[in-house]
């Protein structure tokens, strides 16, 4: 049964949303919406390269030290299809820097900010088929906002450059994956840009699509939505999760949103950054069922139930 062994993150210095107004081309109304309504305050930004940011996250992973030869798979979870200009390959730079000489290296994408959960499922599948009970997978999640397109999602969120490193085993003592569901409500032409038409459609289906994957994941885990002790969402904005809480019939305080104002929306790294924070705060007890959930550009929705 797929298990989280360890999670670490690297959160760069932050910039106030108001200080990004000129570079993002925001007007005063948009700044007020992002800060007062959506709960975004400061955004992680860094001069480091994508590879340097990922290495910084992985080097904080205590469970990796001395276990490098056990890492059979290095999986790059990308919120965006392209995260560095050709021919640069950040994930191979990371592989060399961490001395992961036995690791098969691959990337997963096209699930937007839900790609981190896809990477968890891929890691579990690969490890289950590997045959070596000591084998590990290392997932690297998060993106560098190196183009204007990646820096913010109009009227939705502002993107941060926090990164997460996730060490996964085929089995373990805690944090087992109990259920996973993912659905893509994409377009035949593959367009993910939030044009007015696409944005309208995304708003129309968002809450029902999210509730459907949450229900599917909890059903696979053999529990009801009401049995979820804590929700670790992606940090898109406060409004979307306030509505989701009502739609799912969960109290607002079961959604961990403390990092939203402190980091910005760090692509598919958010649920894992939130996991690290809640474990450090002691908010998860043995046996607690918690939900990681996210939605991504291209109308992708995912949910994963784990048991601490």
Q: What's the rounded Cα separation, in Å, for the pair 147 and 85?
A: 10
Domain boundaries, position 252: 176-307
Residue 4 structure tokens: 């989280």
3-state SS track over the chain: CCEEEEEEEECCCEEEHHHHHHHHCCCHHHHHHHHHHCCCCEEECCCCCHHHHHHHHHHCCHHHCCCHHHEEEEEEECCCCCCCCCCCCHHHHHHHHHCCCCCEEEEECCCHHHHHHHHHHHHHHHHHHHCCCCCEEEEEECCCCCCHHHHEECCCEEECCCEEEEEEECCCCCCEEEEEEEEECCCCCCCCCCCHHHHHHHHHHHHHHHHHHHHHHHHHHCCCHHHCCEEEECCCCHHHHHHHHHHHCCCHHHECCCCHHHHCECHHHHHHHHHHHHHHCCCCCCCCEEEEEEEECCCEEEEEEEEC
Q: Report the Cα–Cα distance between both ends of the chain, in Å, rounded.
A: 13
Burial class (CB in 10 A: 0-12, 13-18, 19+), 65: exposed
Do the Cβ atoms of 143 and 83 come closer than 8 Å?
yes
**75 shares a domain with 197:** no
Q: How many CB atoms lie within 10 A of CB 281?
A: 10
CATH of the domain at 78: 3.40.47.10
**253 shares a domain with 215:** yes
Residues of the chain with pLDDT under 50: none
The residue from 130, 150, 169 where one domain ends is 169
**200 shares a domain with 62:** no
**282 shares a domain with 213:** yes
Return the pLDDT at 195: 66
Q: What's the rounded Cα separation, in Å, for the pair 136 and 170?
A: 7
Return the pLDDT at 203: 77
The residue from 169, 187, 212 where one domain ends is 169
**14 shares a domain with 151:** yes
Number of domains in the chain: 2
**235 shares a domain with 199:** yes
Those residues whose C-beta lies under 8 Å from the C-beta of residue 292, and which sit 6 or more positions away, are 116, 117, 232, 233, 271, 272, 275, 303, 304, 306
**183 shares a domain with 160:** no
**253 shares a domain with 289:** yes
């Amino acid at each position: 049964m797929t298990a989280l062994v360890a999670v670490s993150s690297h959160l760069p210095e932050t910039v106030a949303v108001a200080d990004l107004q000129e570079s993002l081309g925001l007007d005063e109304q948009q700044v007020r919406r992002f800060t007062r309504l959506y709960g975004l305050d400061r955004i992680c930004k860094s001069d480091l390269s994508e590879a340097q940011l990922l290495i910084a996250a992985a080097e904080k992973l205590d469970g990796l030290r001395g276990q490098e030869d056990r890492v059979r798979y290095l999986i790059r979870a990308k919120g965006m299809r392209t995260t560095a200009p050709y021919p640069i390959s950040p994930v191979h730079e990371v592989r060399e820097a961490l001395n992961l000489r036995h690791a098969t290296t691959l990337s997963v994408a096209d699930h937007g900010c839900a790609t981190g959960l896809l990477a968890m499922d891929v890691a579990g599948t690969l490890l289950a088929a590997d045959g070596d009970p000591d084998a590990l997978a290392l997932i690297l999640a998060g993106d560098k906002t190196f183009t204007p397109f990646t820096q913010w999602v109009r009227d939705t969120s502002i993107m941060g450059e926090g990164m997460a490193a996730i060490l996964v085993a085929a089995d373990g003592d805690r944090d087992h994956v109990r259920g996973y569901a993912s659905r893509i409500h994409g377009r035949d032409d593959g367009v993910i840009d939030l044009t007015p038409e696409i944005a309208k459609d995304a708003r129309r289906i968002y809450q029902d699509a999210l509730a459907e994957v949450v229900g599917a994941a909890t059903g696979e885990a053999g529990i009801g939505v009401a049995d979820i002790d804590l929700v670790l969402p992606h940090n898109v904005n406060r409004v979307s999760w306030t509505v989701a809480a009502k739609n799912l019939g969960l109290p607002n305080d079961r959604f961990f949103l403390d990092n939203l104002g402190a980091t910005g929306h760090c692509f598919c790294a958010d649920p894992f950054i939130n996991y690290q924070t809640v474990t450090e705060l002691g908010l998860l007890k043995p046996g607690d069922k918690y939900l990681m959930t996210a939605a991504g550009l291209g109308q992708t929705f995912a949910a994963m139930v784990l048991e601490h």
